[in-house]
Structure 1
Amino acid sequence: MHSKVILVVLGLAALAAADSFERYSYSPPRPRVRYSSGSSESYESSEAQYNFNWAVNHAPSRNDFGHQEARDGDDTQGSYFVQLPDGRLQKVAFHVDGDDGYIAEVTYQGEARFPDSDESFESRESGRYAAPRRSYYN
Protein backbone atom coordinates (compact mmCIF):
# COMPACT_ATOMS: atom_id res chain seq x y z
CA MET A 1 0.00 0.00 0.00
CA HIS A 2 2.73 2.44 0.98
CA SER A 3 4.70 1.58 -2.16
CA LYS A 4 1.73 2.54 -4.36
CA VAL A 5 1.39 5.91 -2.63
CA ILE A 6 5.13 6.56 -2.97
CA LEU A 7 4.99 5.56 -6.64
CA VAL A 8 2.11 7.98 -7.33
CA VAL A 9 3.88 10.82 -5.47
CA LEU A 10 7.11 10.21 -7.42
CA GLY A 11 5.17 10.13 -10.68
CA LEU A 12 3.50 13.46 -9.91
CA ALA A 13 6.85 15.00 -8.92
CA ALA A 14 8.42 13.81 -12.20
CA LEU A 15 5.52 15.23 -14.18
CA ALA A 16 5.79 18.60 -12.42
CA ALA A 17 9.58 18.71 -12.95
CA ALA A 18 9.26 17.85 -16.65
CA ASP A 19 6.67 20.58 -17.16
CA SER A 20 8.92 23.24 -15.57
CA PHE A 21 11.78 22.86 -18.11
CA GLU A 22 12.24 25.69 -20.58
CA ARG A 23 11.44 25.06 -24.20
CA TYR A 24 14.41 25.53 -26.51
CA SER A 25 14.25 26.42 -30.15
CA TYR A 26 16.91 25.31 -32.57
CA SER A 27 18.32 27.73 -35.12
CA PRO A 28 21.50 28.00 -37.14
CA PRO A 29 24.49 29.45 -35.29
CA ARG A 30 24.99 33.17 -35.44
CA PRO A 31 28.20 34.52 -36.97
CA ARG A 32 30.84 35.40 -34.38
CA VAL A 33 31.53 38.96 -35.39
CA ARG A 34 31.89 41.64 -32.74
CA TYR A 35 32.32 45.27 -33.56
CA SER A 36 33.45 47.68 -30.86
CA SER A 37 31.44 50.83 -30.51
CA GLY A 38 33.39 54.06 -31.01
CA SER A 39 36.50 52.33 -32.35
CA SER A 40 37.64 50.91 -35.66
CA GLU A 41 38.78 47.69 -33.98
CA SER A 42 36.78 44.58 -34.95
CA TYR A 43 37.09 40.89 -34.21
CA GLU A 44 36.14 38.49 -36.97
CA SER A 45 36.70 34.78 -37.31
CA SER A 46 39.34 33.98 -39.90
CA GLU A 47 39.12 31.33 -42.62
CA ALA A 48 40.15 27.79 -41.74
CA GLN A 49 43.89 27.18 -41.81
CA TYR A 50 45.63 24.05 -40.54
CA ASN A 51 48.29 21.47 -41.35
CA PHE A 52 48.75 18.07 -39.70
CA ASN A 53 50.64 14.85 -40.27
CA TRP A 54 50.74 11.53 -38.37
CA ALA A 55 51.90 7.99 -39.08
CA VAL A 56 52.14 4.58 -37.40
CA ASN A 57 54.71 1.94 -38.33
CA HIS A 58 54.67 -1.08 -36.00
CA ALA A 59 56.72 -3.85 -37.62
CA PRO A 60 55.73 -6.75 -35.28
CA SER A 61 52.04 -6.35 -36.12
CA ARG A 62 52.69 -5.21 -39.70
CA ASN A 63 50.68 -2.02 -39.08
CA ASP A 64 51.81 0.80 -41.35
CA PHE A 65 49.42 3.70 -41.98
CA GLY A 66 49.28 7.49 -41.84
CA HIS A 67 47.53 10.69 -42.87
CA GLN A 68 48.62 14.19 -43.92
CA GLU A 69 46.32 17.13 -44.65
CA ALA A 70 46.64 20.88 -45.10
CA ARG A 71 44.02 23.57 -45.53
CA ASP A 72 44.24 27.26 -46.23
CA GLY A 73 40.80 28.82 -46.73
CA ASP A 74 39.00 26.86 -49.44
CA ASP A 75 42.16 25.03 -50.61
CA THR A 76 42.32 21.58 -48.96
CA GLN A 77 44.69 18.81 -49.99
CA GLY A 78 46.33 15.79 -48.44
CA SER A 79 47.00 12.08 -48.57
CA TYR A 80 46.75 8.92 -46.53
CA PHE A 81 48.18 5.43 -46.84
CA VAL A 82 47.70 1.95 -45.36
CA GLN A 83 49.57 -1.34 -45.64
CA LEU A 84 46.96 -3.87 -46.81
CA PRO A 85 46.84 -7.46 -45.48
CA ASP A 86 47.80 -8.79 -48.95
CA GLY A 87 51.14 -6.92 -48.83
CA ARG A 88 50.28 -3.94 -51.06
CA LEU A 89 50.53 -0.32 -49.94
CA GLN A 90 47.39 1.68 -50.75
CA LYS A 91 47.90 5.44 -51.18
CA VAL A 92 45.15 8.02 -51.58
CA ALA A 93 45.99 11.59 -52.63
CA PHE A 94 43.07 14.02 -52.46
CA HIS A 95 42.08 17.63 -52.83
CA VAL A 96 38.86 19.60 -52.54
CA ASP A 97 38.03 21.43 -55.73
CA GLY A 98 35.39 24.08 -55.04
CA ASP A 99 31.95 22.90 -56.15
CA ASP A 100 33.30 19.58 -57.49
CA GLY A 101 33.98 18.48 -53.90
CA TYR A 102 36.34 15.74 -52.74
CA ILE A 103 38.52 14.36 -55.56
CA ALA A 104 40.74 11.36 -54.79
CA GLU A 105 43.40 9.45 -56.69
CA VAL A 106 43.95 5.91 -55.36
CA THR A 107 47.16 4.03 -56.19
CA TYR A 108 48.68 0.72 -55.08
CA GLN A 109 52.33 -0.23 -54.68
CA GLY A 110 53.56 -3.80 -54.64
CA GLU A 111 51.92 -7.04 -55.64
CA ALA A 112 49.19 -8.87 -53.76
CA ARG A 113 50.50 -11.98 -51.98
CA PHE A 114 48.33 -14.63 -50.38
CA PRO A 115 49.49 -17.41 -48.05
CA ASP A 116 49.80 -20.92 -49.54
CA SER A 117 47.75 -22.52 -46.77
CA ASP A 118 44.40 -21.75 -45.19
CA GLU A 119 46.08 -20.49 -42.02
CA SER A 120 45.81 -16.83 -41.16
CA PHE A 121 48.72 -14.64 -40.09
CA GLU A 122 47.49 -14.64 -36.50
CA SER A 123 47.34 -18.44 -36.22
CA ARG A 124 50.89 -18.80 -37.64
CA GLU A 125 52.35 -16.21 -35.29
CA SER A 126 50.66 -17.03 -32.01
CA GLY A 127 50.91 -20.82 -32.16
CA ARG A 128 48.04 -22.90 -30.98
CA TYR A 129 44.82 -21.44 -29.59
CA ALA A 130 44.02 -22.32 -26.01
CA ALA A 131 40.69 -21.64 -24.36
CA PRO A 132 40.85 -19.17 -21.46
CA ARG A 133 41.08 -20.66 -17.98
CA ARG A 134 38.25 -20.16 -15.58
CA SER A 135 39.03 -18.01 -12.58
CA TYR A 136 37.01 -17.60 -9.44
CA TYR A 137 37.25 -14.67 -7.09
CA ASN A 138 36.61 -15.07 -3.36
Structure 2
Amino acid sequence: MNRTIIMYTKVAVLVMLVGLALSAPSDSYGPPAHQQTYKEEPKPYQYNYAVQDEYAGTDFAQTEESDGQNVKGSYTVQLPDGRKQTVTYVASPYGGYQAEVSYYGEPQYPHEYGPPVTFKPQSYHHEPAYKPAPSYQPAPSYTPEPSYH
Protein backbone atom coordinates (compact mmCIF):
# COMPACT_ATOMS: atom_id res chain seq x y z
CA MET A 1 0.00 0.00 0.00
CA ASN A 2 2.87 2.44 0.75
CA ARG A 3 4.31 1.85 -2.71
CA THR A 4 1.00 2.77 -4.29
CA ILE A 5 0.79 6.09 -2.39
CA ILE A 6 4.38 6.94 -3.33
CA MET A 7 3.68 6.10 -6.98
CA TYR A 8 0.54 8.30 -7.04
CA THR A 9 2.47 11.13 -5.38
CA LYS A 10 5.22 10.94 -8.03
CA VAL A 11 2.67 10.93 -10.84
CA ALA A 12 0.83 13.92 -9.31
CA VAL A 13 4.08 15.93 -8.99
CA LEU A 14 5.03 15.04 -12.58
CA VAL A 15 1.61 16.14 -13.89
CA MET A 16 1.91 19.45 -11.99
CA LEU A 17 5.39 20.11 -13.41
CA VAL A 18 4.25 19.38 -16.98
CA GLY A 19 1.23 21.67 -16.50
CA LEU A 20 3.46 24.43 -15.15
CA ALA A 21 5.86 24.10 -18.09
CA LEU A 22 3.02 24.24 -20.62
CA SER A 23 1.49 27.34 -18.97
CA ALA A 24 4.72 29.37 -19.32
CA PRO A 25 4.75 31.94 -22.17
CA SER A 26 6.33 30.64 -25.36
CA ASP A 27 8.25 33.89 -26.12
CA SER A 28 10.02 34.78 -22.90
CA TYR A 29 12.12 37.49 -24.63
CA GLY A 30 9.20 39.60 -25.91
CA PRO A 31 7.06 42.01 -23.91
CA PRO A 32 4.30 40.47 -21.84
CA ALA A 33 1.00 40.06 -23.73
CA HIS A 34 -0.88 42.32 -21.31
CA GLN A 35 1.65 45.19 -21.60
CA GLN A 36 1.15 47.90 -24.19
CA THR A 37 4.17 49.09 -26.09
CA TYR A 38 4.79 52.79 -26.68
CA LYS A 39 6.15 53.89 -30.03
CA GLU A 40 7.63 57.38 -30.01
CA GLU A 41 7.45 59.38 -33.20
CA PRO A 42 10.88 60.19 -34.67
CA LYS A 43 11.94 63.79 -34.13
CA PRO A 44 14.28 65.83 -36.32
CA TYR A 45 17.41 67.20 -34.63
CA GLN A 46 20.66 68.97 -35.42
CA TYR A 47 23.82 69.48 -33.35
CA ASN A 48 27.50 70.23 -33.68
CA TYR A 49 30.54 70.80 -31.49
CA ALA A 50 34.24 71.48 -31.86
CA VAL A 51 37.24 71.37 -29.53
CA GLN A 52 40.59 72.92 -30.42
CA ASP A 53 43.35 73.22 -27.81
CA GLU A 54 46.71 74.00 -29.42
CA TYR A 55 48.60 73.66 -26.13
CA ALA A 56 47.44 70.07 -25.60
CA GLY A 57 47.27 69.23 -29.32
CA THR A 58 43.56 68.43 -29.16
CA ASP A 59 41.52 69.10 -32.30
CA PHE A 60 38.22 67.34 -33.07
CA ALA A 61 34.69 68.21 -34.15
CA GLN A 62 31.36 66.67 -35.14
CA THR A 63 28.18 67.80 -36.85
CA GLU A 64 25.02 65.75 -37.35
CA GLU A 65 21.44 66.26 -38.45
CA SER A 66 18.39 64.07 -38.85
CA ASP A 67 14.96 64.47 -40.45
CA GLY A 68 13.56 61.87 -38.06
CA GLN A 69 14.36 58.89 -40.30
CA ASN A 70 17.69 59.52 -42.03
CA VAL A 71 20.85 60.78 -40.36
CA LYS A 72 23.81 62.49 -42.00
CA GLY A 73 26.90 64.03 -40.52
CA SER A 74 30.64 64.08 -40.24
CA TYR A 75 33.38 64.17 -37.66
CA THR A 76 37.05 65.11 -37.78
CA VAL A 77 39.97 64.26 -35.56
CA GLN A 78 43.62 65.27 -35.56
CA LEU A 79 45.73 62.10 -35.84
CA PRO A 80 49.04 61.64 -33.99
CA ASP A 81 50.94 61.63 -37.31
CA GLY A 82 49.76 65.19 -38.08
CA ARG A 83 46.98 64.36 -40.56
CA LYS A 84 43.36 65.29 -40.07
CA GLN A 85 40.88 62.44 -40.57
CA THR A 86 37.32 63.23 -41.66
CA VAL A 87 34.52 60.68 -41.65
CA THR A 88 31.35 61.65 -43.52
CA TYR A 89 28.41 59.33 -42.97
CA VAL A 90 24.74 58.71 -43.70
CA ALA A 91 22.45 56.26 -41.95
CA SER A 92 18.92 55.21 -42.80
CA PRO A 93 16.58 52.36 -41.89
CA TYR A 94 16.96 50.82 -45.35
CA GLY A 95 20.54 51.67 -46.34
CA GLY A 96 22.15 51.16 -42.94
CA TYR A 97 25.31 53.04 -41.95
CA GLN A 98 27.56 54.14 -44.80
CA ALA A 99 30.76 56.06 -44.16
CA GLU A 100 33.39 57.71 -46.32
CA VAL A 101 36.81 58.39 -44.76
CA SER A 102 39.24 61.01 -46.05
CA TYR A 103 42.58 62.41 -44.85
CA TYR A 104 44.06 65.89 -45.11
CA GLY A 105 47.81 66.52 -44.88
CA GLU A 106 50.92 64.38 -45.04
CA PRO A 107 51.92 62.06 -42.21
CA GLN A 108 54.89 63.30 -40.19
CA TYR A 109 57.26 60.95 -38.42
CA PRO A 110 59.96 63.02 -36.68
CA HIS A 111 63.31 61.36 -35.91
CA GLU A 112 63.51 63.06 -32.56
CA TYR A 113 60.68 63.57 -30.17
CA GLY A 114 60.37 66.44 -27.74
CA PRO A 115 59.44 66.17 -24.12
CA PRO A 116 55.93 64.94 -23.43
CA VAL A 117 53.22 67.52 -22.92
CA THR A 118 52.80 68.00 -19.20
CA PHE A 119 50.71 70.38 -17.19
CA LYS A 120 52.10 72.10 -14.13
CA PRO A 121 49.89 71.70 -11.11
CA GLN A 122 48.15 74.88 -10.08
CA SER A 123 48.01 75.84 -6.46
CA TYR A 124 44.53 76.22 -5.17
CA HIS A 125 43.76 78.04 -1.97
CA HIS A 126 40.15 77.95 -0.94
CA GLU A 127 38.74 80.71 1.26
CA PRO A 128 35.32 79.94 2.63
CA ALA A 129 32.70 82.42 1.48
CA TYR A 130 30.95 82.24 4.85
CA LYS A 131 32.86 82.85 8.05
CA PRO A 132 30.64 81.96 11.00
CA ALA A 133 30.82 84.14 14.08
CA PRO A 134 31.46 82.36 17.37
CA SER A 135 28.14 81.45 18.94
CA TYR A 136 29.47 81.26 22.51
CA GLN A 137 30.72 84.35 24.29
CA PRO A 138 32.23 83.41 27.65
CA ALA A 139 31.51 85.77 30.51
CA PRO A 140 34.54 87.12 32.35
CA SER A 141 35.37 85.16 35.46
CA TYR A 142 35.82 88.34 37.51
CA THR A 143 34.44 91.83 37.47
CA PRO A 144 37.15 94.44 37.27
CA GLU A 145 37.02 97.23 39.86
CA PRO A 146 37.10 100.78 38.57
CA SER A 147 40.45 102.40 39.15
CA TYR A 148 40.68 105.84 40.82
CA HIS A 149 43.65 108.06 40.34
Q: Same fold (TM over 0.5)?
A: yes
| Cα distance in 2 between the residues matched to 1:58 and 1:67 | 15
Question: Which residue of structure 2 aligns with residue 99 of structure 1?
Answer: 94
Deviation digits for residues 14-57 of structure 1, max 9, x if unmatched? xxxxxxxxxxx86447125xxxxxxxxxxxx4323111101100
* Structure 2 Cα separation of the partners of residues 62 and 102 of structure 1: 30
User: Structure 1 pair 63/50, CA: closer, same or farther in 2 (3 Å)?
Assistant: same
Which amino acid in the other structure matches residue 80 of structure 2? P
User: Alpha carbons of 1:116 and 1:70: their partners in 2 closer, same or farther (altered >3 Å)?
Assistant: same
TM-score for the superposition, normalised by structure 2: 0.51
* Structure 2 residue runs without a partner (length 5+): 1-27, 119-149
1:110 corresponds to which letter in structure 2? Answer: G
By percentage of residues, which structure has more helix? 1
**Secondary structure of 1:111 counterpart:** coil
Indicate the residue corresponding to 2:79 in structure 1: 84
CA distance in 2, matches of 1:125, 1:73: 43
Q: Number of paired residues?
A: 87
TM-score (norm 1): 0.55
Percent identity (aligned): 38
The higher radius of gyration belongs to 2
How many Å separate the matches in 1 of 2:109 and 2:68?
A: 44
What CA deviation, in whole Å up to 9, does each residue of 1:88-130 have, x standing for no partner? Answer: 000000001442200111000000001113x4x5x3555xxxx
Show the counterpart of 1:73: 68
* Matching of residues 1-138 of structure 1 within 5 Å: 27-28=30-31, 30-31=37-38, 45-117=40-112, 119=113, 121=114, 123-126=115-118
Which ranges of structure 1 fall in alignment gaps of 5 or more residues? 1-24, 33-44, 127-138
CA RMSD of aligned residues (A): 2.1
Secondary structure of the residue aligned to 1:99 is coil
- Looking at structure 1, the residues matched to 93 and 37 of structure 2 have their Cα atoms a distance apart, in angstroms, of 24
SS of structure 2 residue aligned to 1:61: coil
